[in-house]
């Protein structure tokens, strides 16, 4: 008898340009200290759930959201680099802690002009803090919300 492991895949968190974590201009993420995942640049500021789950937490500075997937993995969505000091100003959160989300649920809106004015990188980083293995399925190309980007 054969048993097949369920394929677990993250979709894109935004319409934009997918990057491997090594290309992120922040050593904490590029060295994978925060876990395995991917990044999106050149996006429109709309951030969507890349997986089905429950919103576990929204950081007080609104720059990051954690989701616990329906299979138990914890996922961190980090909006921009060095954006903590902006105290939430460029972010509009569209979900609440404890809310169930489906793949494609709008999580947040990033005001790209405010980030540019504050001279902050608007790259979105998606990582599994408790995971060190996974496979990035696409790199350095334009992607949409429908694209499967990361297999774990």
> What is the set of active-site residues?
78
In whole angstroms, give the CA distance from residue 1 to residue 45: 47
Q: How do beta strands 100-101 and 53-58 pair?
A: antiparallel
Q: Which residues of 2-83 form beta strands (DSSP E)?
A: 9-11, 16-20, 36-41, 46-48, 53-58, 64-69, 74-79
- Could you give the residue ranges of the DSSP H alpha helices within 24-106? 27-30
């Amino acid at each position: 008898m054969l048993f097949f492991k369920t394929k677990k895949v993250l979709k894109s968190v935004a319409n934009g340009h997918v990057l491997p974590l090594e290309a992120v201009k922040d050593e904490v993420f590029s060295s994978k200290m925060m876990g395995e995942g991917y990044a999106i640049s050149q996006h429109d500021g709309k951030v969507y759930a890349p997986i089905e789950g429950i919103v576990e937490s929204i950081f007080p500075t609104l720059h990051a959201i954690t989701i616990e997937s329906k299979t138990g993995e914890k996922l961190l969505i980090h909006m921009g680099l060095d954006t903590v000091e902006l105290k939430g100003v460029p972010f509009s959160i569209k979900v609440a802690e404890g809310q169930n989300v489906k793949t494609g649920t709008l999580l947040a809106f990033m005001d790209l002009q405010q980030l540019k004015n504050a001279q902050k990188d608007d790259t979105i980083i998606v990582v599994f803090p408790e995971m060190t293995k996974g496979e990035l399925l696409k790199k350095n190309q334009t992607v949409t919300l429908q694209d499967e980007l990361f297999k774990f």
